[in-house]
Amino acid sequence: MKNKPARKRVSEGVEIRRELLGPDEARSCPACGALGTLVPFRGGDFQGADLRPDDVRITDAQYGRCWPLGRCRRCGMVTAHPMPPAELLGRLYEAVEDPTYAAEAPFRRRNFERILRFLTDRLGLRPGRLLDVGAALGVLVEAARAAGWEAYGIEPSRAMAEAARRRGIPVETARLETWDGPVHAFDVITLLDVIEHVPEPDRFLAKALRHLRPGGVVCIVTPDVTSVAARLLGRRWWHYRPGHVQFFSPRSLRCLIERLGGRVVARRRYCWFFSLDFLFSRFHGGRPVSWLPERCRRWVLPVNLRDSLEVYARWGHPESSVGPGGASI
C-alpha cells in the first residue's frame, strides 16, 4: 500500500501538504534571465515544504534558516534552488497573521513616511495615485493618504487585509499575480520587503508594471546579499529566513529593472524604526524580554545596517536619470 502524503494542520483550518521539491530543470536566472548560470551558493536547512504560516510572518525570527540557495554566475543573483512551489507559498501568505507586526505598526509608519518624503522632496513627485503591494495592515497606505496621496493597497493575508479595512484603510485581499485591478492607473507602486518572497520576481514585477502609468515610479526595498552585514554574519544573517526565496544585489536588481525596460533613478540604504522591546526580542528568538523596564519598551530607535536596498526606478519616461539626493546603482 502506497504511503499517502503527510499533511500538517496550520492556523485557520488550512492544510498544507508536505511536498518534496525536485530539481529545477533548465531554470533561468530570475534577474538577468541567463539560462544555466545557477551554481550552488549555500546549503539549506530544509528541502521539503513543511512550513506553517507563522514561518513566513513579517516579524519571524528564524534567522539563518532558509532554502538551499543557488547563485547566478553572471549577475550575482541568489535564489532558492530548487524553488518551492508558488502555490504553497501563496497558501502560506493567505493564511498568515502577525500580532507582533500589529504592535509595531506605529513605529513602522516612520519607515514609510521617510519613503513618502523622498518621493516628493527628492524625486520631485506630486502626490498622485499610489499602490502598495503587500500592504499588510495598510500602514503605508494610511500614511500616504495623510500626506495627500490617493493610496490603495493589496495584501494576500486575509486576516491583515481585513484588519486594515476595519480601520477604514482601503486594502484589498488579493495576490498581485491574479489581481485584476486597473491598468496603467498608478503614479507610484511600492514593493517594500515583498520581491524577496516571490518565486518569479521577473514575472511579479512585470505584472506590477501593468498597473503603472507611463513615466511612473516603482519603489523596491529588499535585502542586499552582497552587503557587509551579509558577508560578516554569513549563515546567521537575519535576512536568511524561511519566507525569503530571493536575494538581490545592487547589480542583479539593476539587471532585473533594465531587462523589463526600466531605469534606476535613485538608490539609498533602507532605514528601519523599531521599538526597543522589539529589538531586544530579536536576540531571544522573537520572545519578549521580561527584564526590560516598561517605560523603555516603546522607545524607538532608527536602525540602518546598510544591508537593505531602497531603489527607485522609472518606466516609460525618456528623461529618466539619477534623481537629486539619490545614487546610481
List, for residues 279-323, the tens digit of each pLDDT value.
555 555 556 666 665 666 566 767 777 889 999 999 985 343 333
Asked whether the CA dihedral 113, 115, 306, 192 is positive or negative, the reply is positive
Rounded to whole angstroms, how far apart are CA atoms 205 and 31? 11
pLDDT of 3 higher than 90: no
pLDDT of 278 higher than 70: no
SS3 category, 115? helix
**Per-residue pLDDT, 303:** 72
Query: pTM for this one?
Result: 0.84
- pLDDT, one tens digit per residue, over 42-78 is 888 875 557 889 889 887 878 888 899 999 999 999 9
Rounded to whole angstroms, how far apart are CA atoms 61 and 54? 10
Cell of 257: 529593472
Cα–Cα nearest to 205, from 222, 216, 220, 186: 220
Burial of 227 (0-12, 13-18, 19+ CB in 10 A): buried
SS3 category, 2? coil
**Cα pseudo-dihedral 286, 249, 192, 113, rounded to 10:** 100
Contact indicator for 111, 141 with CB cutoff of 8 Å: no
Residue ranges of domains in the chain, CATH in brackets: 8-92 (no CATH), 95-315 (3.40.50.150)
- The pair phi, psi for residue 89, each rounded to 5°, is -60, -40
pLDDT of 258 higher than 90: yes
Contact indicator for 94, 157 with CB cutoff of 8 Å: yes
- pLDDT, one tens digit per residue, over 194-242 is 999 999 999 999 999 999 999 999 999 999 999 999 999 898 898 999 9
**Per-residue pLDDT, 10:** 34
Mean pLDDT of the chain: 84
Cell of 277: 522591546
Contact indicator for 155, 96 with CB cutoff of 8 Å: no
**Per-residue pLDDT, 43:** 87
**Per-residue pLDDT, 206:** 97
